[in-house]
Amino acid sequence: MTMIPTTSVTLGSSHEEEEVEEELLSLMMDNDVAPPTTTTTTTSSSFTPDQEKQIINDLIHVSGSNAKPGDLFYLLSNRWYMEWLRYTGQDSDENSTVSTVCRPGQIDNHHLVIGGSDSYGDDLELLKTLQEGHDYVLVSQDVWKILYDWYKGGPALPRKMISQGVANKTLLVEVYPLCLQLIDARDDKQYAIRISKKATVRDLYNQVSVLLKLDEEKFRIWDYFNKKKSSVLAVADQDLEDANLQMDQDILVEVEQHLWPSGLGLDSTGNGLALVPVEPARSSITIAGGPTQSNGYSSGYISNFYEGNALGSPLTGAEDGYNLSKMAKGDRGGLSGLQNLGNTCFMNSSIQCLVHTPSLVEYFLHDYSAEINKQNPIGMQGELAIAFGELLRKLWSSGRAPIAPREFKTKLARFAPQFSGYNQHDSHELLAFLLDGLHEDLNRVKFKPYIEIKDATGRPDEEVADECWEIHKARNDSVIVDVCQGQYKSTLVCPVCGKVSVTFDPFMYLSLPLPSTVTRSMTITVFYGDGSALPMPYIVTVPKHGLYKDLFQALGTACCLNSDELLLLAEVYDHGIFRYLVNPLEQLFTIKDEEHIVAYRLPKKQEGFTRLEIVHESKENSGVRKRLGTPLVTFIAEAAQKSEDVQNAVQMVLSPLLKVKVCHPSNCIHTSMEDGFASENDIDGLFNAGNSGCRLRNQSVDKMELDQLSNGMDSFILSLTDEKGMHCSSIENDFHFRQDQFMRVILDWSDREYGMYNISFLEDLPVVHKTTTKKIRSEAISLFSCLEAFLKEEPLGPDDMWYCPTCKEHRQATKKLDLWRLPEILVVHLKRFSYSRYLKNKLDTFVNFPTHNLDLRNYVKSNVAARSHTYELYAISNHYGGLGGGHYSAYAKLSKENRWYHFDDSHVSSINEDEIKTSAAYVLFYQRVQEKRVDESSQVHSSSG
């Protein structure tokens, strides 16, 4: 979210230009923003693109510390915003050379609202599926007013900033306010009310009072979720979010006709709204299973709960559809669905997997009150554990009516603001938060001791691993650690001095990469920026759904890129560079098969150097000039500033194309030319001799011409041009230029150049080629191959370097992971999603995972004879469709029945075991098989289930 200052400014019309300019300059001075270097007015045509960029970016720069709850932000079409960024030179590709960038038209936000261009008014409703950064961006009120004054358009879509969370306050813009369906009990008329979830019950009464023209003391509002009277909204200062009100739910208004029923009345103190609940608030189920006491806890164990001894009377949750009295009869439980509260399928999927984890079911159905840690500063004072425990008990209290997890969602929003609101989220991210949050709430260690970890210093791995585990358990001891945490060994090796560092770290789950099942062959022509060799085409294989960085790495390996070099990739169109491919996180599918992609080998050290782009032109007999060949890119040295320096740079990069044989006798290689490219054997020979000084040419030139060329005399006709190629100026002998980051020149090809150079090397570029897919059999993409990809040795990334204690430098060390200690419950996350600045991609690869007898003995490096390393599947979190617009569900097994069920929000149905393996599997849940079951099994190493 863009954070902008909240100081207000109003921009006027053209006849008020001077006043508006003063107001704008005042605003900028108040925020320490430097005014534009050129004095202009603020009409729509007054500012240059650079000045517009300066004004907006300077406001953004000083905005962070000024944002506060209540500030107004505006939704702005991302489509329009990207046009403005390109217009002001701020698009993602800073080196883009698109010939024409027009000024954006009017702001158009109509595609963000229901009704589109036919929508009018101030209270417009947003489409439910909008995503920030894809459909819209958020800008402050000041920026909106400035942009609106410059460009006009609309409609304006203001939203307020709110503070979310308890321990860690998070500022966010409430893009989707709470929408409530108000029902008037007098005539059943319905009204839509949009109000902030941070508004109070008092605010809601005020809004209803105005809407229905009623005295606030003459009506009451019921929480009418699922068309059932849940409770009267009675606490005046309570947030609507804390009142558990959900998006699009019903509320019921009852108007006083007679005296209110006993127990409900108006406070006589006159402090606005002080309604008394119909009956005292109570928790429908408690930690121990008995009636709730005033402190929220009770004594006793689950045996009393099952026998009904602790129940004074049957408790029924009318809202949630469960009946505790049936549980005493021994009916089966665990088959209730969870209502979708608005894009909460991700939460429902994770919860169903956790509440069907046998160890957690047994724990939370017993009395766990003694283990709640309210002192943990990084915990949630036990509230998350209590909310989860109550939800688990509701789901296991028999009956198949769906449960509405409203209280749990409210607690989740309080402690994890990232999951608040009604957007789709990642079930694995929620699962990671829940496991960690439950651990901290149930940590038996009330005061964590400080223990210094000793260096391994050559000690046996077993000794160091046990020591690290004991240190971990001394600070972290909970049911989550008992059943869900394992330990792995991490080995780092310095590539310079060979220093080996071994650590043993705990893990809560394994996030496994998916080996790519589909690859793509791409042909890229590599040019040498220093003129050391001929251009060479390379065919590389990359993941079809990969990123630019995959192409950079594959091409760098193929062409043996030196450590002091980099590759600058570009798309060539109509004999010019259409765009540079510089963003490593961009998706590869943006490169089409029919495009021409080239790469320039250039030095890594570019500071102070000028990059020179050389475009080729010639004059036809008709006198019309046309472009030809492929542009060349090189660098001009830092000290160069004269025309002869440009001439020398052009001469250097063109030198491989000379029609003359120039080579050292000991390294002479003869080649043949076909279709403008050397044959494969010749290319290999050329590459191997590329740095030896060998240059192969098939014709000779006049010695005087070569001498003149070497001396830089009468060399080339060059013209300096702009990015659009529209304005040209001749580079004369007395031409001087200042050091800059970029220079483009046009090289005029006359008969002389055609006679000296073989331009065929610059023409007939190969296309990227048609995509070639190679599908691996689905059974070959097994869970074991994912695990092996996770455990393989690989170098750390450039942004994740390791500080070597021996070298005293950050090094790109190699890292190797090994499993050391496995937990009772093994959670396996399949990394199906990849992210970039603009795109999110999902791999729908089918992973063949075992349902029975997952044997990991070969992957555990501990020599200690430990418990079984064999596991059985009991739950799956599934994801269907694309990220953001997809859907989650869960498969879970009831062990006592030995049957699988499909939990799809409210709907629960049985499913055959042979149907649970799909490409939607996202998170897998395994339970350790007991030793005796391993002894009875004749085949424990099975990858097919």
| Number of helices followed by number of strands (H, E) in the chain | 20, 41
Q: Supply the pLDDT for residue 23.
A: 52
* Radius of gyration for the alpha carbons in the chain, expressed in angstroms and rounded: 35
DSSP string, 816-867: EEEEEE--SEEEEEEE-EEE-SS-EEE-----B--SS-EE-GGGB---S--S
Alpha-carbon distance of 395 to 352, in angstroms, equals 9
Pinpoint the alpha helices (H) of 286-395: 302-307, 345-355, 358-364, 383-395
Query: Cα angle vertex 201, ends 195, 205, to 5°?
Result: 80
60 pLDDT more than 70:
yes
Q: Supply the pLDDT for residue 882.
A: 72
Tokens in use for 47?
A: 């500012």
Tell me the range of 95-99, 449-453, 516-520 where mean pLDDT is highest: 449-453
The answer to whether 924 and 830 have CB atoms below 8 angstroms apart is yes
How far CA 364 is from CA of 292, 301, 388, 431, in Å, comes to: 16, 11, 9, 17
Alpha-carbon distance of 559 to 529, in angstroms, equals 14
In the block, residue with structure tokens 């008020």:
16
Nearest Cα to Cα of residue 827 among 439, 291, 496, 353: 353
Q: Supply the pLDDT for residue 717.
A: 86
**Phi, psi (degrees; rounded to nearest 5) at 710:** -65, -30
Q: Supply the pLDDT for residue 100.
A: 52
Q: Which residue has the higher pLDDT, 26 or 562?
A: 562
* Residue 573 burial (CB count, 10 A): 11
* Confidence band of 257 (pLDDT split at 50, 70, 90): low
| All structural domains of the chain with their residue ranges | 49-89+103-174, 178-255, 344-442, 519-659+715-732+740-764
Query: Cα angle vertex 867, ends 861, 868, to 5°?
Result: 85
How far CA 885 is from CA of 311, 587, 609, 873, in Å, comes to: 45, 19, 47, 28
The answer to whether 301 and 290 have CB atoms below 8 angstroms apart is no
Collapsed DSSP state (helix, strand, coil) of residue 212: helix
The answer to whether 324 and 308 have CB atoms below 8 angstroms apart is no
The answer to whether 547 and 586 have CB atoms below 8 angstroms apart is yes
Alpha-carbon distance of 623 to 729, in angstroms, equals 19
690 pLDDT more than 80:
no
| Dihedral sign for Cα atoms in the order 385, 390, 396, 400 | negative
Q: Supply the pLDDT for residue 648.
A: 86
Please state, for a pLDDT cut of 70, what percent of the chain lies above it.
72
| Dihedral sign for Cα atoms in the order 529, 530, 534, 537 | negative
Tokens in use for 557?
A: 């390996």
Fill in the amino acid letter for 161. M
Burial of residue 408 (CB within 10 Å: 0-12, 13-18, 19+) is buried
Q: What is the mean pLDDT of residues 4-23?
A: 40
Q: What is the mean pLDDT of residues 721-735?
A: 69
Query: Which of 439-453, 833-847, 895-909 shows the lowest mean pLDDT across its residues?
Result: 833-847
How far CA 159 is from CA of 74, 170, 201, in Å, comes to: 6, 16, 20
In the block, residue with structure tokens 């009345």:
265
| pLDDT mean across residues, the chain | 77
The answer to whether 182 and 190 have CB atoms below 8 angstroms apart is yes
What count of residues does the chain have?
Answer: 945
725 pLDDT more than 80:
no
Query: Which of 382-386, 487-491, 774-778, 806-810 shows the lowest mean pLDDT across its residues?
Result: 774-778
The answer to whether 857 and 866 have CB atoms below 8 angstroms apart is no
| Dihedral sign for Cα atoms in the order 909, 914, 915, 921 | positive
Alpha-carbon distance of 646 to 743, in angstroms, equals 10
| Dihedral sign for Cα atoms in the order 514, 515, 517, 519 | positive
**β-strands 809-811, 802-804: how paired?**
antiparallel
Q: Supply the pLDDT for residue 507.
A: 96
Collapsed DSSP state (helix, strand, coil) of residue 470: helix
Burial of residue 627 (CB within 10 Å: 0-12, 13-18, 19+) is middle
Query: Which of 142-156, 314-328, 923-937 shows the lowest mean pLDDT across its residues?
Result: 314-328
Alpha-carbon distance of 81 to 65, in angstroms, equals 24
* Residue 203 burial (CB count, 10 A): 16
Tokens in use for 766?
A: 């190969």
Fill in the amino acid letter for 19. E
| Dihedral sign for Cα atoms in the order 187, 188, 193, 199 | positive
Collapsed DSSP state (helix, strand, coil) of residue 16: helix
Q: Supply the pLDDT for residue 778.
A: 42
Mind listing the pLDDT tens digit for each residue in 816-871? 999 999 999 999 999 988 764 445 577 888 899 999 999 999 999 887 655 789 99
Q: What is the mean pLDDT of residues 291-297?
A: 33
Helical (H) or strand (E) element with 428: helix 427-441
Collapsed DSSP state (helix, strand, coil) of residue 250: strand
Q: Which residue has the higher pLDDT, 330 or 658?
A: 658
What contacts 24+ positions apart, CB below 8 Å, involve 375-382?
A: 375/446, 375/447, 376/440, 376/441, 376/443, 376/446, 378/440, 379/437, 379/440, 379/441, 379/443, 380/166, 380/167, 380/411, 380/415, 380/437, 380/440, 380/441, 381/441, 382/441, 382/442
End-to-end CA distance of the chain: 46
Fill in the amino acid letter for 900. W
Active site residue ranges:
345, 887
Alpha-carbon distance of 677 to 671, in angstroms, equals 10
Q: What is the mean pLDDT of residues 791-803?
A: 82
Alpha-carbon distance of 127 to 119, in angstroms, equals 12
Phi/psi-derived region of residue 919, left when phi > 0, alpha when psi is between -120 and 50, beta in every other case? alpha
Q: Supply the pLDDT for residue 428.
A: 93
Tokens in use for 196?
A: 């902030």
| Dihedral sign for Cα atoms in the order 363, 365, 367, 368 | positive
Collapsed DSSP state (helix, strand, coil) of residue 304: helix
260 pLDDT more than 70:
no
Query: Which of 99-113, 440-454, 586-600 shows the lowest mean pLDDT across its residues?
Result: 99-113
Q: Supply the pLDDT for residue 201.
A: 92
* Confidence band of 397 (pLDDT split at 50, 70, 90): confident
Half-sphere exposure of 861 (CA within 13 A, CB side): 16
CATH number for 519-659+715-732+740-764: choose from 3.30.365.10, 3.90.190.20, 3.60.9.10, 3.10.20.90. 3.10.20.90
Q: What is the mean pLDDT of residues 575-603?
A: 89
Q: Supply the pLDDT for residue 298.
A: 34
Tokens in use for 42?
A: 């603020």
Topology of 49-89+103-174 in CATH? DUSP-like (3.30.2230)
Q: What is the mean pLDDT of residues 175-189?
A: 91
Tell me whether domains 178-255 and 519-659+715-732+740-764 share a fold. Answer: yes
Q: Supply the pLDDT for residue 505.
A: 93
Alpha-carbon distance of 877 to 883, in angstroms, equals 15
Label residues 331-368 b or e (16+ Cβ within 10 Å = b). eebbbbbbbbbbbbbbbbbbbbbbbbbbbbbebbbbbb
Partner residues linked to 580 by β-bridges: 570
| For residue 460, cis peptide bond before it (omega within 30 degrees of 0) | no
Helical (H) or strand (E) element with 653: helix 643-654
Topology of 178-255 in CATH? Ubiquitin-like (UB roll) (3.10.20)
Mind listing the pLDDT tens digit for each residue in 77-132? 998 998 898 888 876 444 443 345 688 899 999 999 988 766 666 678 888 878 88
How far CA 135 is from CA of 127, 632, 900, in Å, comes to: 10, 38, 40
Query: Which of 628-632, 729-733, 871-875, 933-937 shows the lowest mean pLDDT across its residues?
Result: 933-937
